[in-house]
Homo-oligomer: A and B are copies of this chain.
Amino acid sequence: MDRVRTSIATVCLSGTLEDKLPAIAAAGFDGLEVFEPDFVSSPWSAEELARRAADLGLSLDLYQPFRDVDSVDPEEFARNLVRAERKFDVMERLGCDTLLVCSSTLPQAVRADDRLAEQLAVLADAAHRRGLRIAYEALAWGAHVNTYRHSWRVVEAADHPALGVCLDSFHILSRGDDPSGIRDIPGEKIFFLQLADAPAMSMDVLQWSRHYRNFPGQGSFDLAGFGAHVEAAGYRGPWSLEIFNDTFRGSDTGRTAADAHRSLRYLEAEVSRRVRAEAAPPPRDDRRARLFDAPSASPLEGVVSLRLAAGPGKSDALRTVLGRLGFRLAGVHRAHDLQLWRHGGLTVVVDASAGTVWTAPGLPAHLPVLTQIGVRSSDPESWEERARAFEVRAREVGLPGAEGASTPERGSASDVVRLDMTDATSLDVRGPASAAAWEAAFELYPGERGWEDDVSLFTGVDHVGLAIPADNWDGVMLLLRSVLAMTPREGLDVTDAVGMLRNRALERPAPDGGPGALRLTLSMVPGSVSSHLGAARRGGIGHVAFACTDIFTTAASMRARGFEPLPIPANYYDDLDARFGLSRELLDRMADSGILYDADSDGEFFHLFTPTVGADFFFEVVQRVGGYRGYGDANAAVRLAAQLRAT
A30-54 at interface with B (beta carbon < 8 Å): 36-37, 39-46
A488-514 at interface with B (beta carbon < 8 Å): 495, 497-500
Residue of B nearest to A527 (CB): B527
Contact pick for A500, options B246, B641, B642, CB 8 Å: B246
Known: A202-B203, A202-B207, A570-B45. A637 touches B500 (CB 8 A): no
Q: Is A526 an interface residue (CB 8 A)?
A: yes
Question: How many copies of this chain does one complex carry?
Answer: 2
Which chain B positions have C-beta within 8 A of A528? 536
In the complex, the answer to whether A578 meets B86 with C-beta atoms within 8 Å is yes
Give the CA-CA distance A400 to B37 in the complex, in Å: 46
Give the CA-CA distance A528 to B536 in the complex, in Å: 10
Q: Is A153 an interface residue (CB 8 A)?
A: no
In the complex, the answer to whether A637 meets B207 with C-beta atoms within 8 Å is no
Give the CA-CA distance A363 to B45 in the complex, in Å: 40
Q: Is A14 an interface residue (CB 8 A)?
A: yes
- Report the minimum CB–CB distance from A61 to chain B (whole Å): 19
In the complex, the answer to whether A41 meets B641 with C-beta atoms within 8 Å is yes
In the complex, the answer to whether A497 meets B211 with C-beta atoms within 8 Å is no
- Report the minimum CB–CB distance from A152 to chain B (whole Å): 28
Per-residue contact bits, chain A 234-248, to B (CB 8 Å; 1 contact, 0 not) = 000000000010100
Q: Is A645 an interface residue (CB 8 A)?
A: yes
A112-159 at interface with B (beta carbon < 8 Å): none
A567-591 at interface with B (beta carbon < 8 Å): 567, 569-572, 574-575, 577-579, 581
Known: A202-B203, A536-B250. A42 touches B499 (CB 8 A): no
Interface size on A, residues (CB 8 A): 58
Per-residue contact bits, chain A 391-435, to B (CB 8 Å; 1 contact, 0 not) = 000000000000000000000000000000000000000000000
Which chain B positions have C-beta within 8 A of A39? 571
Which chain B positions have C-beta within 8 A of A577? 86
Residue of B nearest to A644 (CB): B16
Q: Is A255 an interface residue (CB 8 A)?
A: no
Per-residue contact bits, chain A 1-38, to B (CB 8 Å; 1 contact, 0 not) = 00000000000001110000000000000000000110
In the complex, the answer to whether A579 meets B83 with C-beta atoms within 8 Å is yes
A contact patch SS: helix
In the complex, the answer to whether A87 meets B645 with C-beta atoms within 8 Å is no
In the complex, the answer to whether A43 meets B500 with C-beta atoms within 8 Å is no
In the complex, the answer to whether B203 meets A14 with C-beta atoms within 8 Å is no
Known: A500-B249, A500-B250. A567 touches B43 (CB 8 A): yes
Q: Is A556 an interface residue (CB 8 A)?
A: no
Known: A16-B644, A527-B527, A578-B87. A497 touches B41 (CB 8 A): yes
Known: A498-B250, A500-B250. A41 touches B642 (CB 8 A): yes
Contact pick for A16, options B44, B45, B249, B497, CB 8 Å: B497
Which chain B positions have C-beta within 8 A of A14? 497-499
Which chain B positions have C-beta within 8 A of A87? 578
In the complex, the answer to whether B15 meets A498 with C-beta atoms within 8 Å is yes
Q: Is A610 an interface residue (CB 8 A)?
A: no
Q: Is A482 an interface residue (CB 8 A)?
A: no
In the complex, the answer to whether B41 meets A572 with C-beta atoms within 8 Å is yes
Q: Is A82 an interface residue (CB 8 A)?
A: yes
- Report the minimum CB–CB distance from A636 to chain B (whole Å): 10
Residue of B nearest to A570 (CB): B45
Q: Is A204 an interface residue (CB 8 A)?
A: yes
Which chain B positions have C-beta within 8 A of A36? 575
- Report the minimum CB–CB distance from A630 to chain B (whole Å): 18
Known: A41-B641, A249-B498, A645-B43. A574 touches B16 (CB 8 A): no
In the complex, the answer to whether B527 meets A581 with C-beta atoms within 8 Å is no
Which chain B positions have C-beta within 8 A of A637? 37, 41
A445-476 at interface with B (beta carbon < 8 Å): none
Q: Is A297 an interface residue (CB 8 A)?
A: no
Which chain B positions have C-beta within 8 A of A211? 500
Which chain B positions have C-beta within 8 A of A83? 578-579
Give the CA-CA distance A37 to B495 in the complex, in Å: 10
Q: A40-B569, A203-B203 are in contact. List 6 more A-B contacts (CB 8 A).
A: A14-B497, A15-B498, A40-B575, A201-B203, A201-B207, A244-B495
Provide a sorted-by-A list of 5 A–B residue pairs whose CB atoms are within 8 angstroms. A40-B572, A41-B497, A44-B571, A202-B206, A250-B526
